[in-house]
Amino acid sequence: MKTKKKLVIITLIIAALVALVGCSNSNKKLSENEYKRNATLASTTVSDIIYDSSKEINKGPTKTYGKVAHITIDDGPSEYTDKMVEILKNNNVNATFFMVNGNMEAFPEQVKNAVKAGNTVGFHSVSHDIHKLYKTSTSAKEEFDVCAKTFTKITGETSKVIRLPFGSKPFTPQSSYDNLVASGYKLWDWTLDTEDWKSTSPQIMANLKKYAVGDDITVLIHERKQTVAVLDDIIKYLKSQGYEILPIAQNQQEQNYWNGKLGSQN
């Protein structure tokens, strides 16, 4: 029995030596680039691979479970637009900017930059005044027509995505809403108001973490200094909760307080 065990061990050793010789001979045929690649792989640890993979994941949307978040940014463009666009780009996501007509005229390059980066640009009225918006049943529609013309003049593109100042309810009369819908405008409200316009940066994050629930959310923020300061944190938190961050598409069904589609992916 001892002799048989010795023979088995010797056989295994010989097989291992043959394999090593074979590998050595095959290595002689490797190109210089292949040698370099093998050397790199040999010096790369499992920890390195995991770390590099984690960096790639953080650059884009993480694995999701059918959860979608729309980040919507009101009242621009402004001095903060380009920075917000840059932060979005660095995180490999896009948002939806609801812009006021006068601000588009004052910051045309920012409008172009937002569009060029892949964000959706919608409109947020001319007056931002509910008394003027609803003076007649067609006043709101007429204001958004002006926004649409300004946008096309600046970018050469069109948009039908809109947001009414202060939301579509309770201020918007039925007749005004009907005229907007009949003109093809797609009205979007929100499911989560961060109240960033009156909050500090930490308060904005606290509001987000408290109310970011559900499989389909629309987050309302504004072009404000304190919001820019935490936009990166907002994006990373939403990703950590399994949300895929997407801009509102022109062909997407609108979600507002009138049609009851808020938070619905249908």
- How far apart CA 37 and CA 178 sit, in angstroms, is 65
Q: What is the pLDDT of residues 104-118, one digit of tens each?
A: 999 999 999 999 999
Q: Do the Cβ atoms of 235 and 91 come closer than 8 Å?
A: yes
- How far apart CA 30 and CA 25 sit, in angstroms, is 9
Confidence (pLDDT) at 14: 52
Instruction: Please report, for the chain, the start and end positions of each structural domain, with discontinuous segments joined by +.
Output: 2-43, 64-245
Q: What is the pLDDT of residues 193-211, one digit of tens each?
A: 999 999 999 999 999 999 9
One CATH from 1.10.260.40, 3.20.20.370, 3.20.20.70, 3.40.50.980 for 64-245: 3.20.20.370
Low-confidence ranges of the chain (pLDDT < 50): 1-5, 7-8, 11, 17-64
Confidence (pLDDT) at 264: 81
